[in-house]
Amino acid sequence: IDGDISSVYVGVSGRSIHSMPTEVQHSLNTEQAITQSLLDNIKSDATRNSLNNYDTIDVIPRSYTIDKIEIRNPVGSFGTDIKARLNLIVAKPTILINLKRVFTQQTQIKGLITTAVAVADAVLTADERSLGCMLVDMGAETTTVSIYRNDALVYLVTIPLGGRNLTRDITALGIREENAEKIKRNLANPLKPAADPVTIDNIRSSDASNYILARTGEIIANITAQVSNAGMSLNDIHSIVLVGGGAMLKGLDQEISDSVNISSNSISVRIASSIPSQL
């Protein structure tokens, strides 16, 4: 690319990233048109409700109510009273401090983008966002869970567990982390201990599988617990979409499906390998 880059948009993720629901209400003196400028002012007001010791990364609308009538996009509507239900995406100040240390005056931060929200825009279909969907972005160190329903982000949280935890558990068998990672990747089905185990680098496959299965069960339990933390039930979830390097663990999608459908739910589970044609 020719020329200098003077400004950039930066994706933000990390252990402290989570959503915080808030409401802002504006009473207008007379009936008037709801403008984008008014909505922007409401978003600015919402940031004043941030928790102590957290910075606001983004403000995402859930719904608006105009004169007691709920409306998804109120721009152009008329009314005397507007109430906004919003999600603040917040993070520890250290994230922004570290980002500012990276960039110089020659290359400035033009805007912050919540990575989990950008991923959802890329991989979720319109039906998934509308009917109720859990997006699980499983990386090496963390797993971010986002829940969507009625075309809006309902909940977002980052769990401090990821694919590397499985690898580190296998090192308890007396091997280096590099070898543990290779074993994890080469097992035919790491979540199903083999009846006739094979030996990989002097480690029985069934022993490695037992460690992987135990930690995966903990991660899945933490993921599914977020549904109730969001004030919802599994009946509100129509599908689960998996992304991230950790989601590539063989058999993980089926293990999650077995876990969430144990009570006769009909939740579909898929791995997002590409951007869907229906957005």
Contacts of 192 (CB under 8 A, 6+ apart): 209, 213, 251
Biggest distance spanned by C-alpha atoms of the chain: 78
pLDDT at residue 50 is higher than 80: no
Chain segment 227-253, per-residue pLDDT in tens: 999 999 999 999 999 999 999 999 999
Coil, helix or strand at residue 142: coil
Chain segment 82-125, per-residue pLDDT in tens: 999 999 999 998 888 888 787 776 788 888 899 999 999 999 99
Q: Identity (one letter) of the amino acid at 136?
A: V
Instruction: Please report the pLDDT score of residue 9 as a whole number.
Output: 86
Higher pLDDT, 67 or 277: 67
Average pLDDT over residues 25-48: 91
Instruction: Please report the pLDDT score of residue 22 as a whole number.
Output: 92
Q: What is the 3-state secondary structure (H, E, C) of 211-266?
A: HHHHHHHHHHHHHHHHHHHCCCCHHHCCEEEEECHHHHCCCHHHHHHHHHCCCCCC
Cα 26 from Cα 83, distance rounded (Å): 6
Instruction: Please report the pLDDT score of residue 279 as a whole number.
Output: 34
pLDDT at residue 29 is higher than 90: no
Q: Is the pTM of this model over 0.75?
A: yes
Angle (CA) 277-278-279 rounded to 5° is 110
pLDDT at residue 277 is higher than 60: no
Instruction: Please report the pLDDT score of residue 201 as a whole number.
Output: 82
What kind and span of H or E run contains 147?
Answer: strand 143-149
Instruction: Please report the pLDDT score of residue 165 as a whole number.
Output: 96
Chain segment 152-180, per-residue pLDDT in tens: 999 999 999 999 999 999 999 999 999 99
Provide the token pair at 61.
Answer: 């609308």
| Percent over 90 (pLDDT), the chain | 69
pLDDT at residue 275 is higher than 50: no
pLDDT at residue 28 is higher than 80: yes
